[in-house]
Amino acid sequence: DAKTTQPNSMESNEEEPVHLPCNHSTISGTDYIHWYRQLPSQGPEYVIHGLTSNVNNRMASLAIAEDRKSSTLILHRATLRDAAVYYCIPHSNTGNQFYFGTGTSLTVIP
């Protein structure tokens, strides 16, 4: 699976947008880009995924670069409940497992 690079940590003010970047320059053409988050003392929670086009759901938006070597998770209005570790995971068809990196720890400041 593709190697990913994410900032170790980010901060955001409450009710402001947050852009969480991820580089996945070795991604292959059929890998979907998944984003998960893990709140303290909880299991990973699915946020969003996409292949080429930008995607929106009730939790977030996913912007995928045209060359697919990077993507950005967008939280439109950060809340205190969004404080978590966010993982970007390119997922291939060659295996079932998700490879979790160290992710980005998001702190939301009231």
Query: Where does this chain bind another protein (CB under 8 A)?
Result: 30-32, 34, 38, 41-46, 49, 51, 87, 91-93, 95-102
- Least distance (Å) from another protein to the CB of residue 57? 11
Q: Minimum CB separation from another protein for residue 50, in Å?
A: 9
The CA distance from 103 to 107, in Å, is: 13
The pairing of strands 18-23 and 9-13 is unpaired
Residue 15 CB, nearest approach to another protein (Å): 25
Half-sphere exposure of 48 (CA within 13 A, CB side): 22
